[in-house]
Chains A and B, each alone.
Chain A
Amino acid sequence: MTTAVEADTRTLIAVRGLKKHFPIKEGALQRVTGHVQAVDEVSFDIEKGQTLGLVGESGCGKTTLGRLVAGLSEPTAGGVYFDLGPQEKIELDRLMASDAERAEFDDEHRVDLLKGDAWRRFRRNTQMVFQDSFASLNPRQLVKDIVGRPLRVHREASGTALVERVVELLEQVGLGRQHLYRYPHQFSGGQRQRISIARALALDPGLVVLDEPSSALDVSVQAQILNLLHDLQADRGLTYLFITHDLSVVRHMADQIVVMYLGRVSERAPTDDLFAAPRHPYTEALLRASPDLDADGDEDGFQGLEGSVPDPARPPQGCRFHTRCVYATRVCGWEIDDVVLRLEETPGLFDRLEDVERRSPFDAELRFESEQAARTLVSTFQNEAPEPMRDALEDMTVEGRTVAIRFNPVPEVELTSRGTDHEAACVLEDFGSN
């Protein structure tokens, strides 16, 4: 490693402690009543020439993360850093402890703060293909102007030279000269996505953020687009941040995969390791939920992913996945919200809940209409709640119409190492052996 040339060991993109929280505004006064934690504490590297697959269910923050990497929005905390040498990376990791000390480093390397030449270099290097091929092309511009625009902005070509460059680009994505003077709405979804790709390639970028480039398309067209992206990468040595909700799409393309759940990384691993031995129950569930990937092919009817994604404004405590995890243990973050959720599923009882007074996410008093309702809750809980949830309970006492509930408080589950370049955020070191 130390003998390699500096250029080869530079990290194209380093994401560190990245957070993006969107304020939720309510009422006529637009008061901020909470925050959607779209991206929370995310760190990873994107190496030159590689493909990093970013996978997760809808709403888990993939697009938000992609936009941050492309420099389209400012992080709430942490940052996305462009083109760091090995020394700079060590420096950055040392500086992550303190925002104040990092300010100077941020000014020089954080993508949303870059200025002048550094900004232009980043802008040319990093392009993005958006999720919605309809919305990402200006309906009032001709294809020639859409694809030629990056060249014009960076003063690379004009007049007939520009037209010729655009034709070249169009031909590279399987379109041609005859498409120059057409409007986006005259094309099919797949063709529009090709136009988007041509535009992204115009400046000969290093990194392309691909936000579900094929998921809005027909299956047969999807394969065409994926093949095109694959060939382009081979020809031009591109680096991809490939965002998708479907693991099977990145299986053959990605070198490394980051699995996200509710804004956080739940697992990060080299693609082969991840598919061979997922170390997070969520990854396993995603694999099982994807019909072409369920390795064992066991028709046991295991659905993998039951229930819906919780509200990202109030992510579950401990492990964010504990509300849906089939392996959940007593230390996975059971909390008052889990009891309330269970109540909601018992309609007769939920109607009689009058008030919840929280002292912490783990500790609250639930007041019911009657003492009888309060007692019903306790007995229902004891009979029906999953065992790990009951085990996590420290105290549940009925006093008249109120039930005082206290769970064992647990901190957020952190990512921990599972071998070379493999991390997972699960309290179970080894759940997969069964």
Chain B
Amino acid sequence: MDVTERLPIPPAPPSESALRVRARRAGELTANVLSNPTTLTGLIIILLMISMALLAPWITVPNTPDPTQMPRDWGAIAVPPGSPGHPLGTTNTGGDVLYGVIWGARTSLRLSLIVVSITVTVGVAIGSLAGFLGGRIDEILMRIVDVFLSIPELIFALAIAAVLGPSFRNIILALAVVFWVKYARIMRAQVIHVKQNEYVDAARVIGDAPLRIFGKDILPNSITPVIVQATLDMGNIVLVGATLSFIGLAEAGLAEWGVLVSEGQAGISAGRWWASTFPGMMVFLWALAFNLLGDGLRDVLDPRTETSR
């Protein structure tokens, strides 16, 4: 049964240290992630998108005074891709599509980072509290979560954003209110599962304090699915956010993919496909890339496959 017992473990190099071992492990994990071609594709797209977002002020001429707004070229209304000065064409109102695509990446990155960091923090905190403490607190928190879960994400976000009034800031707020619930659920289930492990009892038996047990034993062993979900949500949130701005819940004129798709929509029947196709493709690519990476992470970070290596 236990064939490994007699296999000697090769002696470690004398210069071994915790830091090195951890770094090597991180390196192995990264190599594992990169060895999967679909995951790698996702990662490359994401890196391109992020560089585009970060470099936006340098690869375009920022619109003044507010670069997040579309610049208007009233002399070139609805020109097709390849026109001088407008490689991806312009919208009905003379907005440069390339500018929108690039600054849209920046808007999307801001949106998804803000929403994911808020929702992960809130969700992990609430889920941990419920799962770790259990009892009445758990019951109350989960009752609240159930209420949130009973309303479909998109409709809920839409309702909140509509009530708050149309602005991109309110879209961020609405998504933050809606998206934490999943993390709370995942985290609670993980914590309840992980805290039954004997290594938690082993930590109690040596007299370690509950908070440190949470930090050392429970959190690190519970967080993986949250990381995977957060990666997927980096994509999903942009998709939902674009949907909301598409139906007019963001300020008109914002350099944002959903807004651009919506603006360009009117021209499609007249054959002016470019104004909504390019930003639409960006939304699709963005969501796809994060989903590819998320799926790849799930496979690599899964503790079962991890220990078998």
Contact = CB atoms under 8 A, between A and B. Distances in A.
Nearest to A179: B9
Interface in A179-216: 179-183, 185-191, 196, 199, 202-203
A366 to B, nearest CB: 41
The 3 closest A-B pairs by CB, nearest first: A123-B207, A136-B198, A150-B206
Interface of B: 1-2, 4-5, 7, 9, 11-12, 16-18, 20-21, 25, 197-199, 201-208, 212, 216-217, 220-221, 303, 306-307
Given A139-B221, A141-B216, A178 B12 contact: yes
A429 B1 CA distance: 44
Contacts of B205: 70-72, 123, 126-128
Given A128-B202, A136-B198, 6 more contacts: A124-B207, A131-B198, A136-B199, A153-B212, A185-B306, A203-B206
Contacts of A145: 18
B5 to A, nearest CB: 4
Interface in A119-161: 119-120, 123-124, 126-128, 130-132, 135-142, 144-145, 149-150, 153-154
A189 B206 contact: no
B18 A181 contact: yes
A182 B199 contact: no
Contacts of A142: 18, 21
A124 B199 CA distance: 17
Interface of A: 67, 70-72, 119-120, 123-124, 126-128, 130-132, 135-142, 144-145, 149-150, 153-154, 178-183, 185-191, 196, 199, 202-203, 217-218, 220-221
Contacts of A141: 216
Chain B binding surface, main DSSP class: helix
Contacts, number: 107
Nearest to A122: B207
14 contacts: A71-B205, A123-B207, A127-B206, A128-B201, A128-B205, A138-B220, A138-B221, A150-B207, A154-B207, A183-B21, A188-B5, A188-B7, A202-B206, A218-B5
A137 B216 CA distance: 12
Nearest to B16: A181
A72 B201 contact: yes
Given A141-B216, A181-B16, A190 B2 contact: yes
Given A124-B207, A128-B201, A136-B198, A178 B2 contact: no
Nearest to A144: B18
Contacts of A202: 206
Contacts of A220: 5
B12 to A, nearest CB: 5
Contact of A135 (B1, B16, B198): B198
